[in-house]
Amino acid sequence: MNEPKRRYMSWLSPGRLPAKLAAATASLLLTVTVAFGYGAVAQEGGTAEQASPGREQFVYKAILHNGGGSYIPALAPPEIDAIYIVANRDSVLSPRVTRVYFWPITQEYKADWLSADEPVRGDLEIYQGSTLIRTLAQRSYALGYPTDASVQETFLYLDDEALNRLSQYQTEINRFYQMMSAYYRDQERYQDELWEFIKRPGEKEPTAPVRPEPPDVLVSSVERGFVVNLPPGLYKIQLRGTDGAVVEGSSKILVAFDGYREGIAYEVIPEEKWTMPEHADGPEQVLYFARRRTVYVRPFMAREYDQFAYSRLCNLASPLAGRGTEGTRTWVRLDPVGDGFYLQVETGGPGTSEIKKKLYRVKQHHGTALGYDIVEATPADAFEGSPSFEGYRIDLSPGRHYTVQLVSSDGRVVPGSRREIRGVNLWAGPVLIVASFTPLLAGAFVLVRRRSLYRTIRHEVRRGS
Partner 1 sequence: MPRTALQSDVTIQRYHTIKVISSRGLISTLFGPGFYIVMCLSLLAPSILIYSYLGSVRETGLASMSNLIGTPFSVWVSIWGLFLSISSSLAVSREKELGTIEELFYGPVGPTDYVLARYVEHLLVYLVALAVSVCYFSMVSLLTNFSMSGTFIPTLLLSIFSVSTMVAFGILVSVVASKTRSSLTLLLTVALIFLGLDLAQGFLLGHSLGDPVGALPFGMSVLGWIARLTRWVSPFSNLGMGMDAAARGDIRAYGIVLVHSAAYSCAMLWMAVNRLKRKGVRA
Asked whether position 442 contacts partner 1 by CB under 8 A, the answer is: yes
- For residues 353 and 392, the answer to whether their CB atoms sit within 8 Å is no
Cα 169 off chain centre by: 30
Draw the binding track, 70-109, toward partner 1 (x: CB under 8 A; -: no contact): -------------------------------------x--
* Touching partner 1, residues 326-365 (CB under 8 A): 326-329
Phi/psi-derived region of residue 390, left when phi > 0, alpha when psi is between -120 and 50, beta in every other case: beta
Binding mask 377-416 for partner 1 (x = CB under 8 A): ----------------------x-x---------------
Region near partner 1 per CB under 8 A, out of 23-31, 111-119, 199-207, 212-220: 23-31
Single residue of 440, 461, 462, 465 touching partner 1 by CB under 8 A: 440
Query: Distance of CA 303 to CAs 68, 313, 335, 419, Å?
Result: 9, 14, 10, 16
Computed from CA positions of residues 324, 328, 329, 330, in that sequence, does the dihedral angle turn out positive or negative? negative
Question: Interaction with partner 1 in 194-233: which residues (CB under 8 A)?
Answer: none
Nearer to partner 1, 109 or 235 (CB): 109
Choose one: 34-42, 60-68, 85-93, 155-163; the region binding partner 1 (CB under 8 A): 34-42
CB 225 within 8 A of CB 63: yes
Q: Is 175 in the site for partner 1 (CB under 8 A)?
A: no
Selected from 9, 32, 246, 448, the binder of partner 1 by CB under 8 A is 32
Site string for partner 1, 248-277 (x = CB under 8 A): ------------xx------x-x-x-----
φ, ψ for residue 330, nearest 5 deg: -145, 150
Residue list 287-306, contact with partner 1 (CB under 8 A): 287-291, 293, 295
Task: Find, among 126, 344, 135, the residue nearest to 235 by Cα.
Answer: 126
Work out how close the CB of 457 gets to partner 1 at its nearest, in angstroms, rounded to a whole number: 14
CB of 375 vs partner 1, minimal distance in Å: 21
Phi, psi values for residue 313, rounded to 5°: -60, -45
Nearest by Cα to 377 from 395, 354, 357: 357
* Helix segments in 3-124, DSSP class H: 3-12, 17-49
Opening angle at CA 153, ends 150 and 154, nearest 5: 130
CA angle 162, 113, 107 (to 5 degrees): 115
When the beta carbons of 205 and 284 are compared against partner 1, the nearer one is 284
Length of the chain: 465
Is residue 431 involved in binding partner 1 (CB under 8 A)? yes
Mark the segment that binds partner 1 (CB under 8 A) among 20-28, 218-226, 229-237, 362-370: 20-28
**Which residue from 4, 12, 18, 149 is in contact with partner 1, where contact means CB under 8 A?**
18
